[in-house]
Amino acid sequence: MYKNIFMLCICCFTLFAQGKTHDHSKMNHDHKDSVAKIKKQEKKDKVLIEVKGMVCAFCAQGIEKKFGKRKEVKSAKVNLDKMEVLVKFKKGQSLNEKQIKKIIVDAGFSYVGSK
């Protein structure tokens, strides 16, 4: 009888301990996710946008002007050789991909992607 109770206690303890271990693992995952999110947020302080059709400096000014009008944007710099635009955001602010794509399209160019 005592043996059975003891074994039951051992089983319950084991299950409890496993649960705790699992929680720790989950917490570790959550912690890693938070770190990744922060790192991602840090990366979004600036974004490098690839644009198709940006051959003319005279026309590309539209992109700079369009980004410059956004309150989130600190600066925008066009690189004609690579057909890229480097956009730096103000602290704690950024634009999502949909917003970036709209700005590029409204300026008359094709959006390829951003990194």
Partner 1 sequence: MKSTCLVLIYFCFVPSLSFAHPVSFEGSTGLMGYHSDFFSHNQVNYSFKYWFAGGVHHLRKPNADKETSASLLTLNFLLKRWNTKKFQANIYGVFGAGESSLTAESKGAGFALMQFDIEDRKLYFLAKHARVISKDQTDFYQTTLRFGVAPYQDEYSGFHSWIILDLQQVKFFGEKVINDITPMLRFFYRNLLFEIGQSFDGVTKFNYITHF
Kindly tell me which of 40 and 69 has the beta carbon lying closer to partner 1. 69
- The residue (of 12 and 105) whose beta carbon lies closer to partner 1 is 105
**Cβ atoms 110, 98 nearer than 8 A:** no
Instruction: Pick out residues in 63-102 that bind partner 1 (CB under 8 A).
Output: 63, 65-66, 77-81, 83
Burial class (CB within 10 angstroms; exposed 0-12, middle 13-18, buried 19+) of 102: middle
Q: What is the DSSP letter of 49?
A: E
Of the pair 63, 87, the CB lying nearest partner 1 is at 63
φ and ψ at residue 113, rounded to 5 degrees: 175, 175
From 54, 73, 87, 100, residue interacting with partner 1 (rule: CB under 8 A): 54
Would you tell me which residues interact with partner 1 (CB under 8 A)?
Answer: 52-63, 65-66, 77-81, 83, 105-110
